[in-house]
Structures are given as structure tokens and as C-alpha cells.
Structure 1
Amino acid sequence: MGLKKGAFSFSRFGVSTPLTGNFADLFDEKIKSFAFRDFFPENEEKSLGWTGLQEILDSSFAYAAHTLGDYRVFSLRIDRKTTPSALLRLRFLEAERSMLAERETKKLYKEEREALRESIRQDLMKQAHPVPSMLDVCWSLTKGMIYFSSHAEKILQDFQDFFRETFEMDLALHVPWLDALGQNKEETEEFLSRQPGREFLTWLWFKSEERDGRIALEGQEEIGLAFVRRLILESGEGDYAESVVCQGQHALLLEGKEALRQGKKIREARLSLEIDSMEWEFTFKADLFQFQSMKLPAPTEESEENSALEEEGRLLERIFLLEKAIETMDRLFAFFMGLRLSASWPAEVARMERWMNR
């Protein structure tokens, strides 16, 4: 499941570095230089490298297999070794007991205990088999945007670091409200403290019920938006956070609205989006504007052929549909931001409160 087929979960990164005239040759050279090598460095917990998207064993990128029109599509392979904490603790206790008996003492110094634990961890790492994971990457050169198939903070950081090492470019996780705000630091901090992603998602629920889910966007026919099956609301932060999970349409209406009345905001929701008679379904994570398990509309035409040209065509169609949903969500957020920062916002809040109390 991923960019090629099935549901797709992803985060977005912006690439701000301008591309040079010889970028195509430079990209080809760099990605081959940092391609995955079937060699695991001793005493390392992980090994990273780029591979082909269409063929995961392809690390040679023959015939520019990473190029798809204006896009660069490839995968990041991360092989990671892990040591079960329970096994590490057991082996440490065994080694500690043996060392204490050998020395005829009752206690080891702190430094000795730490050195012993690390030595055992290293031995277990040498015995462990690396577990591979494949993360899809789609880089739109025109938009300066990358779609990367993970939400995990650790993996996102690995991707940013390895991308910088490979291409000598910095990536920034893309959240649209940072682009929409001005340069006033105090106003920015005050707005961010209100958790704009959650405000936006809460407002979206209101809009989805205001006109039977029909929302008019400038320059586009009306779109359809519905909240389906699952909703997570939360208030507070850290250890003081309180969450409510609502599942099923009846629970969304009753428990969800009650949570809103108690001051909670929507952190995550399953949405159905309709554009031009096509339908997408995905879980929207408000805090970082991320998309999870996005189901795309069925392809316009099914073909039984599996030629390279057919595969490229299907992948391009999926990317087009992916970006169609993303752009619509971005436009919805721009609509929200325009309203949120205008003099009309208090009246909108009053309407939302009446809706909550219905």
C-alpha cells in the first residue's frame, strides 16, 4: 500500500532551494551515489539508502527510473536493528550476577553498570537481523513539494537528514498556516497557541452540516464534505490532555457535539471529500495537516496491460488525484484563514455555537 496502489498516508515537505539548470543530471548523480547498499555497518542500528519506487530492489536507477514527467519518484529504504528491552534486561542481570560472583562483591559502580549494559546491547545488535521498511517519495519539482509516506517523527527526521546529506537541500515540514501568517512574531505566537489546525477541523465539521455538506470555493464548483465514522477531540496538552473518541454517525452527533460544548477541539477526523463526482476518503490529522489512509477515486479506465508505459500512466493519474484532494484541502484552509482573520469571525463563531447547541 502506498503511492503506487491502495490507501496512501503521507506528510508534506517544502523544498525552498532553487533548482539549477543542470538539476536533472545532478539529481541522477546524487541519488545513485546515495542508493541503498546491501551492507550493514558494524555497531550501527540502521542503514539508509534510496531505491526505485517501481522496483524496490533497483538501486542502480537504470534509464532514469526515478523520473516521471515533472516528478521524481523513488523510495527511502531504512533497515533497522532493534534489541527487545526485556531480552536486554535479562542478559544484563545475568552478566551482572556473574560479574558480582566473580569479584565477590555486592555492587558495581554506575560507570561499570553502564559499560556492561552497552557491551551487551552491542552483542545483541550484532546478532539481530535488520528489518527493512520502504517509504515512498514523490517530489514535485514545479511545486517544490515532497509527499513522503510516513507520519512517525523519528522517520521524518531520518528522511530530512538523509535528504540533506544527499542533495544538500533543507526540507521543512509543510503546514499551511505558517505560510498564511505575517511577520509579526507576537501575533504569530498568539495564533499558534489557538491550535489553528484543530480550529480549522472543528470549523469544517460545522461547514459540513451547514448546507448539507456543500461548500462553494472561489473558481470551483461546489464540493461535498462529510465527516464519517470516526472523530477524536481533545483539550489540554501533554499529561493534562483529555481525549474523546467518537465512532459511528450517531456518536459523532451526540458525543462529539457534547465534547465541543465542553471546550474540546477536533484533533483527527475521517473525512469524505467529493469533487466533480469523484470521491476521496481519508483521515485528516489537524496538528500537522497530515493525511492518513487516503483512498483515491477509482481510475478512469482499467487496463490489463502491465507495460512500463501503462504503469507510469496509472502512477501519474494517482498523483494527479492525490494533489487534487490536497489542493482542495489547502483552499478550504485558505477560506477558513480569510474568515478567521477578518471582522466577520465573531459572527461565524456565534453561528457555530448555535449549531453546537442544537
Structure 2
Amino acid sequence: MGILSNTVSVCQYQVLGEVPADNFFAWSGECLAANAFHPIEQTSEELSVGWVHLADPKEQDFSSDQVFRRDHYLIFSLRRDQRRVPAALMRAHLEQAQNDFLAAHPGLQRVGKQKKEELREAVRGALLARTLPIPAVYDAVWDTRSNLLTFTSLSPKVTELFEGLFKQTFKGLRLVALHPMARAAQVIPEALRPALQQANRATTEAVLEQIQQNAWLGSDFLRWLLYQTLESPSTYQVNQPGPAAGGEPFVATLNDRLVLLGGAEGGLQKITVAGPQDHFGEVRAALQHDKQIIEANLTMEKQEHAWKMTFKAGLFHFAGYKAPAVKLEKDAITNADSEKEALFYERMFVLEEGLQLFDSLLATFLERRLGDWAVIEKDISEWLEQA
């Protein structure tokens, strides 16, 4: 699903490095054009990867900034076309090719190793030439004011491909995943930074270590939020910058699906609890046995609007992120391009508002976690024992 879809899965990056002081968007267009997507429908190439228009993945001309610029946003999409030969089809055709070879050489009892490899490559090439490439498109929106980039895939293979092509495209820039500790550092007030640094269990700035050594952040956050869902009004206030006004109230709750992970005989055990929940008895029992919540459905409501997502605590990814719907007016056809631009801005408004609410919720948790946590943890432990 693309960024303009009502439901989308997203991860976020910080863009690091020096950008040109002048003509940034002109430079960006040249960079995108140099790494634009090349169609392979009329060739036998197996793979093509490059940039296309976010609004139209069939287009890859970046000569005009109107196709990749929306005010302070830089927008583009990663397109990957790949031909795949089904394994069963490959085996059948290779067997036939080997039989034909032996029939043409009656003195041979079997196909030699080198010849078998030659036949394999020939069969594979022939099948690839007869196979249409399968396209996949993933959107990227770069907010050049905050240098925060939103990407619409959570697949490790796709994100690795995107990160590599981005670095190749925009020389001198690189992407760093907005992992839990990095996101925490962005939302807490200056006064709490020393406490956060003290709580950081990583010994280096390496992203992988920051994620692995600070898994406590996501699991503590979800455990606290479960307690808040059942034992408090679950009302919070906007305390982070964004579209919503500071101080506005909103409600945040966990509901209907949680995933827990913990040790068991033979290795790690994953438990999924799904369906309408009353007191989350099964989840509370699992938490008493040292299981950790690693994923949960989160709903945030402000006035009549609602945002829903599956929050993945390990990486702070947002899967199935559903924001209030925006749509193109059916009778607005006199200026389709301007209406599509308006739709983009409306969509980014509601997406960013939902992430603003999430960051406000996270900041509220961190104030507790880095403050009187011992008292809160005691309350949570006593509450769990009542399950």
C-alpha cells in the first residue's frame, strides 16, 4: 500500500549529512534522474531497480521538480521489477532439456556436471525471456525541514535495498533508522536527556546495538500502556510539535491483539492473544512469567477522529497504520493535478498528526520511566498478581 492509501505500513529514518545550501531541489532532481528506474518489459533482464514518480509509478522523468516536490516535501518511489521462474517450472524444463541432450547423444549415459550447468543457464534464460517482470513500488516522503523520511515498507530486504539506493543516489547523505532510543531522544525534554543516557544500555552508537540492548524501552512502554488501558481513563495530552494543538486531549488504548515473547524449554516462545479482551487475563499471566509484549494493536482517538496501528516495539515500526480517511472529491475534475496535490497534503496532515499523538504518548511514558518508575513498577506488579 502506498502513502496515499487509507492503511499503510511505515518506518522512519533520519537523513544525515550535508545537503547543498543552494538549489537543493534542483540537485535532488538530478540525483533522482541519475538513478531512475529503467523498464525491462521488452528485454530479458531479470531485475531493475530505480526511482519513479510517487503519483505515477510508470513515470521516471525527474526533469521538473513539480513531479517530486510538494512544498518542503521531497516525494519519490522505489520501484523494483523482477522476473521470477517458478521452481517447479524450472525443474520440468531442465529435465526435458537433459532428456533431449541424451537423446541427441546416445553414447552418453548421463549429463555431465558442466553440461548440466550450461543447460540450466540456457533454460533459465529462455524462461526469463518469456516471463513478465513483477513490479513492486514503495513510497518515500522526505520532510526536508525536519530531515525525517517516511518509507512504506517494513521488509528487511526492501529497507536494505532502499537504504543502499538512497546512499548511492544522494552522495554524502545516509539514512539512520529512527530506532526506539533515537525516537525517545527526540521527544523528551532537555532536562531528561541525562537520565535517558544513563538508561541507555548500549556501549556504542551502532544502530544494531542500540536496538538490541534497549529492547526494554518498547516492552516497558507496552506493559505500562496495558496497565494504563485497564486501570486509568487512558487520556493524555498533546505535548509534541505537529498539526495538533499543544495541550489537546486524546485517548490511547491497547486492544484486541497482542504478541508476547519469552523464554521456554527449547528456546523462545511467541504467544499471540487475539480477539475482544475484557481484563487481558491471559496476557497478565504471561507477563508474570517474564514474557514481554513485543507487538500490539494501538488505537488513538482525538475528538471524532481515530488512528489505528499495529505497533512493533522492537524497532518502533507502524504496521497497518490507518488514519482518518481523506479522498478526492468526485466532482473535482476541473483541475485534477491541484486536487491530487491537495489530497497529498491532507494525507500527510493526518499521518503526521497520528505520529504526533504517538510521540506525545511516548514522551508521557518516558517522563514516568525516567522518573518515579520504581513506584509505578510496584503498582504494575501488584496489578499483575491480581490476574
Give the CA deviation at 1:130.
Answer: 0.3
* Deviations, residues 264-312 of structure 1 (Å, cap 9, x unaligned): 2222212110135421111112221111222212449967314322221
Give the CA deviation at 1:315.
Answer: 1.2
1:164 aligns with 2:167: yes
SS in structure 1 opposite 2:280?
helix
Question: For residue 199 of structure 1, what is the aligned residue in structure 2?
Answer: 220
CA contact (8 A) 1:14 1:144 kept: yes
Check 1:184–1:100 CA distance in 2 against 1; reply closer, same or farther (3 A cut): same
1:3 aligns with 2:32: no
Query: Number of paired residues?
Result: 355
Question: For residue 190 of structure 2, what is the aligned residue in structure 1?
Answer: none
Question: For residue 137 of structure 1, what is the aligned residue in structure 2?
Answer: 140
CA contact (8 A) 2:237 2:249 kept: yes
Give the CA deviation at 1:131.
Answer: 0.5
Give the CA deviation at 1:106.
Answer: 6.1
Give the CA deviation at 1:140.
Answer: 0.5
Question: For residue 27 of structure 1, what is the aligned residue in structure 2?
Answer: 28
* Deviations, residues 182-211 of structure 1 (Å, cap 9, x unaligned): 487449869844523233222222222231
Residues of 1 paired with 2:234 and 2:259: CA distance? 20
SS in structure 1 opposite 2:169?
helix
Question: For residue 67 of structure 1, what is the aligned residue in structure 2?
Answer: 69
Question: For residue 354 of structure 2, what is the aligned residue in structure 1?
Answer: 325
Question: For residue 288 of structure 2, what is the aligned residue in structure 1?
Answer: 261
**TM-score, length-scaled by structure 1:** 0.85
Residues of 2 paired with 1:170 and 1:90: CA distance? 45
Give the aligned residue type for 1:29.
E
1:125 aligns with 2:137: no
Question: For residue 176 of structure 1, what is the aligned residue in structure 2?
Answer: 180
Give the CA deviation at 1:46.
Answer: 1.8
Question: For residue 249 of structure 1, what is the aligned residue in structure 2?
Answer: 276
Counterparts in 2 of 1:1-358, with a 5 A limit? 1-20=1-20, 21-39=22-40, 44-61=45-62, 62=64, 64-95=66-97, 102=105, 104-105=108-109, 117-168=120-171, 169-178=173-182, 180=185, 182=197, 185-186=202-203, 192-193=212-213, 195=215, 196-216=217-237, 218=239, 219-236=246-263, 240-250=267-277, 253-299=280-326, 304-306=331-333, 307=335, 308-342=337-371, 344-358=372-386
CA contact (8 A) 1:232 1:243 kept: yes
Give the aligned residue type for 2:143.
S
* Deviations, residues 141-179 of structure 1 (Å, cap 9, x unaligned): 011111111111111111111112222221122113146
CA contact (8 A) 1:208 1:215 kept: no
Residues of 1 paired with 2:140 and 2:313: CA distance? 22
Give the CA deviation at 1:48.
Answer: 1.5
Query: Percent of aligned positions with the same letter in both sequences?
Result: 28
Give the CA deviation at 1:98.
Answer: 6.2
Residues of 2 paired with 1:232 and 1:191: CA distance? 19
CA contact (8 A) 2:181 2:211 kept: no
Give the aligned residue type for 1:16.
L
**TM-score, length-scaled by structure 2:** 0.80
Residues of 1 paired with 2:53 and 2:382: CA distance? 53
- Gapped runs of 5+ residues in structure 2? 186-195, 240-245
SS in structure 2 opposite 1:266?
strand
* Deviations, residues 214-239 of structure 1 (Å, cap 9, x unaligned): 234545233201223222222249x8
Check 1:106–1:56 CA distance in 2 against 1; reply closer, same or farther (3 A cut): closer
SS in structure 2 opposite 1:241?
strand
Higher mean C-alpha deviation, range 141-150 or range 56-65: 56-65
Residues of 1 paired with 2:178 and 2:377: CA distance? 27
Question: For residue 189 of structure 2, what is the aligned residue in structure 1?
Answer: none
Check 1:210–1:113 CA distance in 2 against 1; reply closer, same or farther (3 A cut): farther
Check 1:122–1:353 CA distance in 2 against 1; reply closer, same or farther (3 A cut): farther
Residues of 1 paired with 2:45 and 2:65: CA distance? 32
Residues of 1 paired with 2:102 and 2:289: CA distance? 58
SS in structure 2 opposite 1:250?
coil
Check 1:134–1:296 CA distance in 2 against 1; reply closer, same or farther (3 A cut): same
